[in-house]
Amino acid sequence: MTVGSSRARQARGQRLRKELYAELSITQLETRRVLNGDGVASELVVDAGEASGDGQGDTFQIGINEGQVEVSVNGELVSSVSQSEIDTITIQGTSDDDTVMADLGVGMLDKIDINVQGGEGQDSLRVITNEYLESIIHSINHSNTGPHSQIQFNQLDASITLGGMENVDYDSSTNQFVVQIEGGSHDVTLDQDTASGRNRLEILNTSDVSESTTLSFASPESRLEIDTRSGEGLDQDRVSLHGLEATFDADLVITGDQTDSFHLTGDTGLGHG
């Protein structure tokens, strides 16, 4: 009896090891869990695996489904983990033109930080929220390593950190939208797509024209603020209002240093809504 039980346990152990190895061999290039100081897996890291750098743009999707955080790469589900088990999701982009879609639903942002590193190429992020937000603060810094951003959402503790993401599209409703710009001199242009009514804010680093960030967003309910203050007054930022329709009912506030300037370069219905 003892020998039989021992052999059964060995066989069961070998079978479990084979099953575990088979599972890891599928996912090890796409997802990994990072342990915190207590030995708990608190960060989910996702990359494109073998599809990285193959000349084809990759699509990453983050969503939440019945308390499970799900991440897909190019339409294939690569991770599904309980929302309570992680506090950070990191997306590692490729040298291709990548697209990241973050469908945050309701409440996900209050629990999980998101870190998106776009890598090379022209990369895009789409942020979708199903809850009304009191304010969105998008801080942009054009450093020597490319555009970096941090997105914060009013009273929520979590945030989104971006590296090398050139385009950010907000599918969100908010009372206030604040854009803070620093890290050199910039040409900043605000205009509006007359067909969709969405606003487009382009931030171009004048010392390196290859570094630019474009934000697309619906009009906030009460206030849009563009803040180009650097604190030292050494940068020369130029903010241009190319045109806003009369349907834009929010207050427009532009704050800068003495070396910054503001220009009207097109027709605008601002103030006539």
Nearest Cα neighbor of 86 from 66, 73, 67 is 67
The arithmetic mean of pLDDT across residues 121-125, rounded, is 91
The arithmetic mean of pLDDT across residues 134-163, rounded, is 85
**Does the pLDDT value for residue 206 go beyond 80?**
yes
* pLDDT given at position 25: 31
Q: What is the pTM of this model?
A: 0.81
Whole-number Å distance between alpha carbons of 76 and 190? 37
User: What is the phi/psi pair of residue 111, to 5°?
Assistant: -130, -25
Q: Is the Cβ–Cβ distance between 137 and 112 less than 8 Å? A: no
**Does the pLDDT value for residue 123 go beyond 80?**
yes
Sheet holding 88-92, edge to edge: 31-35, 41-47, 88-92, 113-117, 159-163, 146-153, 133-143, 174-182, 223-227, 251-255
Whole-number Å distance between alpha carbons of 273 and 266? 17
The arithmetic mean of pLDDT across residues 250-257, rounded, is 93
14-65 tens-digit pLDDT: 544 444 333 333 333 345 555 455 545 588 999 887 767 677 889 999 998 8
- Lowest pLDDT segment from 46-55, 91-100, 220-229, 236-245: 46-55
- Lowest pLDDT segment from 29-43, 58-72, 147-161, 222-236: 29-43
More confident: 241 or 36: 241
Q: Is the Cβ–Cβ distance between 18 and 24 less than 8 Å? A: no
* pLDDT given at position 74: 92
* pLDDT given at position 170: 96
More confident: 202 or 248: 202
Nearest Cα neighbor of 241 from 214, 211, 267 is 267
- Lowest pLDDT segment from 19-28, 156-165, 211-220: 19-28
**Does the pLDDT value for residue 12 go beyond 60?**
no
**Does the pLDDT value for residue 207 go beyond 50?**
yes
* pLDDT given at position 30: 43
Whole-number Å distance between alpha carbons of 216 and 230? 23
- Write out the two tokens for 41: 């897996």
- Write out the two tokens for 272: 């006539």
